[in-house]
């Protein structure tokens, strides 16, 4: 079998595994936001949090502007809306365009490898296999979210940058600016960190040998990129994100974030920390060997610079979670896979059996990436295959099915925690309305909210259905609040909430792409009360208190 055939087989396998059962599980919170705003665009002509029935007021509406438009990067909404328009609104059609873009990125990765490591076909095959069989790659690829778009435009920008630097032509620099703008509209922070990392890597490795023609082309690229992005950024004030502010002093917080970035990039499982240690030894040897793949040094520098700029530009770390923002690392997948391929090529020169065994071990198991202080072995690719072959019910899917079967048209629903309202809003929002999502602390203009025909205010409405994802004192406080005596239409009223059913599923979304939270199957060893999904129905108290 030649190398080209091996690449085609790997690509076909990756495509099959990426597209299989794409409509399972149901959208979780972030995916539901993308799908909801895309569907709202088809109904209202705006990338809005308002779809005509419900308001997607996540975190009190902090991700919307005064016109109720979502300030997140718009490309993910546009891509999803186009898919919905052409193929219909469904979970499958929401995810399909992102899988398609991810597979395009995988094909482009093969082209980049050929350009960067032309004399090393074995290295290219190892690197391509690392990405094409990466479980983390599949999990992010199958999300109705910006991940695949950022991966595609980031790789395209890298490819065009490389070509423009080595063989400058006037038409390459506008294309580079377009690719960078595509990355910007995929995700602002990811774009800023990657483009700055690319520039820093160029200054370190190529500045002295850069011709005047290339510097002029870079200036043209910057001007075109600014023209394509600055008006939008200024008009939308994309840097104002109350939902991203986590407080704390700037320098200690970002120093912590840098440490977390360096530590937690291990969770991508493309370059485990054990292989990373071996990679440094290999790169030292490569500096002394003229026949070694020297581009690996630049890829490593690019990856490290990206993590540094993410830490400097991003919000202070969320200490309650204790992990870096793993979702921002997905753009590093091809570059880490390339570095892993370089290391496996180095081992291959000494033992093909050992390098092949390492490839199987890294793609199938997290053993090389285990934290020695908290070891927890998991199968990766086998677990992903098992998940595809045995679909299982999830909290959002079961709750949406219940509401579709039992709720009456126009009933109101309130779910806790707050973010859990929004997947239900996408699936059941045409039948029921979601109430109580805002309080007086919201930053959204009250005048705009008053024009909406929606039960928005938590102090004014009493939901017909209360859906509790998990159970604790906070959920009980919400039930007590909605069970309070109150005055309505000149008379005293009071409700109580009767338990209707427990859905028999674990409450937390297992469809998240981050490996620490993805369960690869149903969670069965959970506590039914504190970690189940419980549904309550409103019943009026016949004799409310005479005085309030």
- Express each pLDDT in 62-108 by its tens digit: 889 999 999 999 999 999 999 999 999 999 999 999 999 999 999 99
Domain-by-domain residue ranges, the chain?
3-23+90-388, 395-540
CA distances from 120 to 111, 333, 337 (A): 13, 20, 15
Distance CA 514, CA 268 (A): 8
Cβ proximity of 173 and 218 under 8 Å: yes
- State the CB neighbour count (10 A cutoff) for residue 45: 8
Beta bridge partners of 487: 492
- Count Cβ atoms within 10 A of the Cβ of residue 313 and give its class: 0-12 exposed, 13-18 middle, 19 or more buried: middle
- Count Cβ atoms within 10 A of the Cβ of residue 540 and give its class: 0-12 exposed, 13-18 middle, 19 or more buried: exposed
For tokens 């992005």, the residue is 229
pTM value is 0.95
94: tokens are 């929401």
- Say which residues have a Cβ less than 8 Å from residue 70's Cβ, sequence separation at least 6: 33, 37, 47, 48, 49, 56, 63, 64, 77
CA distances from 231 to 46, 150, 237, 439, 472 (A): 18, 21, 10, 33, 46
Rg of the chain over Cα atoms, rounded to whole angstroms, equals 25
Cβ proximity of 447 and 379 under 8 Å: no
Q: What pLDDT does residue 318 have?
A: 75
Which DSSP letter does residue 248 get? S
- Say which residues have a Cβ less than 8 Å from residue 107's Cβ, sequence separation at least 6: 11
User: Any idea how long the chain is?
Assistant: 548
The candidate with the shortest Cα–Cα distance to 186, out of 222, 157, 223, 219, is 157
Instruction: Please work out, in degrees rounded to the nearest 5, the angle formed at the alpha carbon of residue 11 by the alpha carbons of 92 and 278.
Output: 115
* Cis before 328? omega within 30: no
Cβ proximity of 424 and 533 under 8 Å: no
Beta bridge partners of 498: 537
Q: What pLDDT does residue 317 have?
A: 78
The candidate with the shortest Cα–Cα distance to 315, out of 237, 260, 264, 233, is 260
To which H or E segment does residue 468 belong? strand 465-469
Low-confidence ranges of the chain (pLDDT < 50): none
40: tokens are 């709202």
- Say which residues have a Cβ less than 8 Å from residue 81's Cβ, sequence separation at least 6: 38, 39, 41, 42
| CA-CA-CA-CA torsion sign (32, 396, 436, 528) | negative
The candidate with the shortest Cα–Cα distance to 26, out of 112, 166, 142, 149, is 142
Distance CA 100, CA 18 (A): 9
Q: What pLDDT does residue 245 have?
A: 59
- Say which residues have a Cβ less than 8 Å from residue 268's Cβ, sequence separation at least 6: 134, 136, 326, 329, 330, 332, 333, 336, 515
- State the CB neighbour count (10 A cutoff) for residue 487: 10
Instruction: Please work out, in degrees rounded to the nearest 5, the angle formed at the alpha carbon of residue 201 by the alpha carbons of 200 and 207.
Output: 85
11: tokens are 């690509």
């Amino acid at each position: 079998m030649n190398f080209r055939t091996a690449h085609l087989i790997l690509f076909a396998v990756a495509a099959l595994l990426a597209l299989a059962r794409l409509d399972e599980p149901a959208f979780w919170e972030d995916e539901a936001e993308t799908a909801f705003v895309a569907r709202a665009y088809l109904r209202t002509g705006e990338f809005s949090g308002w779809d005509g029935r419900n308001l997607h007021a996540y975190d009190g509406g902090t991700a919307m502007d005064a016109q109720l438009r979502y300030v997140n990067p718009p490309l993910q909404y546009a891509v999803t809306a186009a898919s919905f328009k052409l193929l219909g609104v469904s979970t499958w059609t929401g995810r399909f365009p992102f899988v398609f873009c991810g597979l395009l990125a995988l094909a482009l990765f093969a082209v980049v490898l050929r350009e960067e490591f032309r004399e090393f076909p074995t290295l290219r095959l190892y690197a391509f296999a690392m990405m094409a069989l990466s479980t983390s790659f599949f999990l992010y690829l199958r999300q109705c979210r910006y991940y695949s778009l950022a991966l595609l435009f980031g790789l395209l920008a890298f490819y065009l940058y490389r070509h423009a630097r080595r063989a400058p032509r006037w038409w390459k620099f506008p294309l580079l600016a377009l690719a960078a703008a595509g990355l910007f509209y995929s995700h602002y922070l990811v774009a800023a960190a990657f483009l700055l990392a690319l520039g820093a890597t160029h200054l370190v490795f190529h500045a002295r040998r850069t011709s005047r023609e290339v510097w002029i082309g870079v200036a043209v690229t910057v001007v075109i990129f600014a023209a394509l992005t600055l008006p939008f950024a200024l008009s939308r004030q994309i840097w104002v994100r109350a939902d991203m502010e986590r407080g704390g002093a700037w320098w200690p917080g970002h120093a912590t974030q840098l440490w977390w970035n360096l530590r937690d990039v291990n969770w991508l499982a493309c370059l485990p920390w054990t292989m990373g240690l071996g990679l440094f030894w290999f790169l030292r040897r490569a500096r002394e060997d003229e026949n070694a793949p020297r581009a690996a040094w630049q890829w490593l520098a690019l990856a490290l610079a990206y993590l540094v700029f993410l830490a400097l530009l991003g919000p202070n770390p969320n200490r309650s979670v204790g992990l870096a923002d793993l979702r921002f690392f997905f753009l590093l997948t091809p570059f880490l896979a390339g570095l892993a391929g370089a290391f496996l090529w180095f081992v291959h020169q000494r033992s093909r059996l050992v390098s092949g065994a390492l490839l199987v071990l890294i793609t199938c198991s997290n053993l090389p990436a285990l934290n020695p202080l908290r070891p927890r072995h998991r199968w990766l690719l086998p677990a992903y295959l098992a998940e595809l072959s045995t679909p299982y019910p999830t909290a959002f899917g079961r709750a949406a099915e219940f509401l579709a079967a039992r709720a009456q048209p126009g009933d109101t629903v309130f779910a806790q925690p707050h973010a859990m309202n929004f997947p239900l809003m996408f699936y059941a929002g045409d039948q029921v309305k979601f109430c109580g999502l805002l309080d007086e602390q919201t930053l959204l203009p009250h005048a705009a909210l008053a024009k909406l025909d929606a039960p928005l205010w938590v102090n004014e409405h009493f939901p017909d259905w209360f859906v509790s994802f998990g159970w604790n004192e906070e959920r009980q406080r919400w039930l007590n609040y909605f069970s309070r005596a109150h005055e309505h239409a000149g008379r005293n009223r009071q409700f109580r909430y009767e338990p209707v059913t427990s859905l028999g599923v674990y409450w937390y979304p297992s469809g998240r792409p981050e490996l620490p939270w993805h369960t690869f199957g149903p969670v069965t060893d959970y506590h039914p009360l504190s970690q189940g999904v419980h549904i309550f129905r409103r019943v009026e108290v016949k004799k409310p208190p005479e005085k309030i």
